[in-house]
Amino acid sequence: MQKKKILILLGPPGAGKGTLSALCAKKFGWKHVATGNLCRQEMQDKTELGLQMEALILAGKLVPDEIIVQMVENWLQERQDLVEGVIFDGIPRTVHQAKFIAKMLHEKFLEFEPLIIQLQVQKDALLYRILSRLICSNKECQTVYSLHAFVDKQQDEYRCEICGSVLQQRSDDTKEALEKRLDDYYQYEKDVLHYYKEHNVQVYQIDANQPVDKVFENLEKITTS
């Protein structure tokens, strides 16, 4: 029998972490936690935490580690259904977060097999993807689309194929914020990869410049090997 999985997806903005997480959730029934979604939820609900984060996120900066760790811990505490597997999307971004994940795996997920996947994509492609990304505005849905997938690109409004809600751009999907997100990402990624190397933890690389179905096929091979 296949061991239950913990999938940890590393990759720059636009690498396809959210897209692949949704495919894994649909095909394998794994539960998906995206730290970016947790942050946006706080912002949308206008909580004190959300107000603190807003300026950072809009400027393309990272949210402090303690806040991220606390939000993920809260998410885990509320879940009783992490039966088949869990996908961590957007965490770890820093060594502090990588240590938190390692501790959590040891304390809560000993019967799960952790798989750390690094999605690699060229910078030009990331810019193109992010600036044409559309997200379902329904917070229970949040399906990700690309404007390029629509035949008629001149419409005033696009709607979600699943729930019918309006699609919108993310407020941090601007060229300026993206440049900052990418700079930060590569700086922290180096440290996180170094941490894993130092601790002899295997990180699988996937060429994510390819179409989504190809990338998913490669991901599936790793999860079933």
Q: Site residues (CB under 6 A) for ligand AP5?
A: 11, 13-19, 35-36, 39, 56-57, 60-63, 68, 90-91, 93, 97, 129-130, 133, 144-146, 172, 181, 208, 211-212, 215
- Cβ proximity to ligand AP5, 18 vs 85, nearer residue: 18
* Cα separation, 217 vs 201, whole angstroms: 23
Nearest approach in angstroms of CB 107 to ligand AP5 is 19
User: Which residue, judged by CB position, is nearest to ligand AP5 in the bound state?
Assistant: 36
* Cα separation, 59 vs 11, whole angstroms: 19
Instruction: Tell me the pairing of strands 133-136 and 31-34.
Output: unpaired
Nearest approach in angstroms of CB 154 to ligand AP5 is 18
Nearest approach in angstroms of CB 137 to ligand AP5 is 15
Beta strand residue intervals within the chain, DSSP E: 4-10, 31-34, 85-89, 112-120, 133-136, 144-146, 167-168, 203-207
Nearest approach in angstroms of CB 3 to ligand AP5 is 26
198 CB-near residues (< 8 Å, 6+ apart): none
Nearest approach in angstroms of CB 51 to ligand AP5 is 14
The answer to whether 91 touches 103, Cβ cutoff 8 Å, is no
- Cβ proximity to ligand AP5, 65 vs 113, nearer residue: 65
DSSP-derived secondary structure letter, 3: P
* Cα separation, 95 vs 193, whole angstroms: 9
- Cβ proximity to ligand AP5, 97 vs 118, nearer residue: 97
- Cβ proximity to ligand AP5, 49 vs 208, nearer residue: 208
- Cβ proximity to ligand AP5, 2 vs 122, nearer residue: 122
